[in-house]
């Protein structure tokens, strides 16, 4: 599957364990000029990871287009921008997986059903 943001391909990890969607400030600096003008304020949020504590400086809205073998999927998530994160990918957390009814399948079609509403469910096969 390929992910596009602002007409450019970006690495995106669908992280079913992380409860919110995040992106590192250094990733935004490197890939999105003038992104700070789009930054929405938020209360200081401290997140913990295996590498330590990370601090949110705001929220950024970015439309993601997921190209998929059965068509494109468009979602509009909010990402917490983290000041001191060292990730080189955009992480889509379980917040938007639940909102858009995304299921993640493995090769044997075993899956984690995040949303039981079959009318709005989208299945993503990971190969």
Which residue is listed with tokens 């075993």?
110
- CB neighbour class for 74 (10 Å; exposed up to 12, middle 13-18, buried from 19): exposed
pLDDT of residue 111 exceeding 90: no
User: What is the rounded CA–CA span in Å between residue 98 and residue 85?
Assistant: 24
| Residues 80, 42: Cα–Cα separation, whole Å | 9
Q: What is the pLDDT of residues 35-72, one digit of tens each?
A: 999 999 987 666 776 666 778 899 999 999 988 777 88
pLDDT at 100: 74
Residue 26: its pLDDT value, please? 94
The predicted structure's pLDDT at residue 125: 46
**Does residue 84 contact residue 63 with C-beta atoms inside 8 Å?**
no
Q: Are 125 and 14 in contact (CB under 8 A)?
A: no
Mind listing the domains of the chain with CATH numbers? 2-125 (2.40.70.10)
Measure the N-to-C terminal CA separation of the chain; round to a whole number of Å. Answer: 9
Tokens representing 34 are: 């003038």
Mean local confidence (pLDDT), 27-35 = 94
Q: Contact 103/125 with Cβ under 8 angstroms? A: no
Q: How far is CA 51 from CA 47, 77, 87, 108, in A?
A: 11, 25, 10, 32
pLDDT of residue 32: 94
Mean pLDDT calculated for residue range 100-115: 53
Residue 15 has what pLDDT? Answer: 79
User: Taking 60 as the threshold, does the pLDDT of residue 119 lie above it?
Assistant: no
pLDDT at 62: 93
Tell me the CA distances in angstroms from 25 to 28, 41, 95, 120, one per residue in order: 5, 14, 20, 32
Residue 9: pLDDT band (50, 70, 90) is very high
Rounded percentage of the chain residues whose pLDDT exceeds 70? 73
């Amino acid at each position: 599957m390929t992910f596009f943001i602002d007409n450019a391909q970006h690495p995106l990890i669908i992280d079913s364990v992380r409860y919110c969607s995040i992106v590192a400030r250094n990733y935004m600096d490197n890939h999105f000029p003038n992104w700070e003008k789009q930054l929405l304020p938020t209360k200081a949020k401290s997140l913990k990871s295996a590498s330590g504590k990370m601090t949110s400086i705001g929220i950024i809205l970015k439309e993601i287009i997921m190209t998929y073998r059965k068509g494109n999927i468009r979602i509009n998530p909010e990402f917490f921008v983290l000041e001191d994160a060292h990730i080189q990918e955009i992480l889509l957390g379980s917040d938007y997986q639940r909102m858009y009814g995304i299921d993640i399948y493995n090769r044997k079609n075993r899956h984690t059903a995040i949303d039981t509403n079959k009318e709005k469910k989208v299945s993503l096969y990971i190969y």
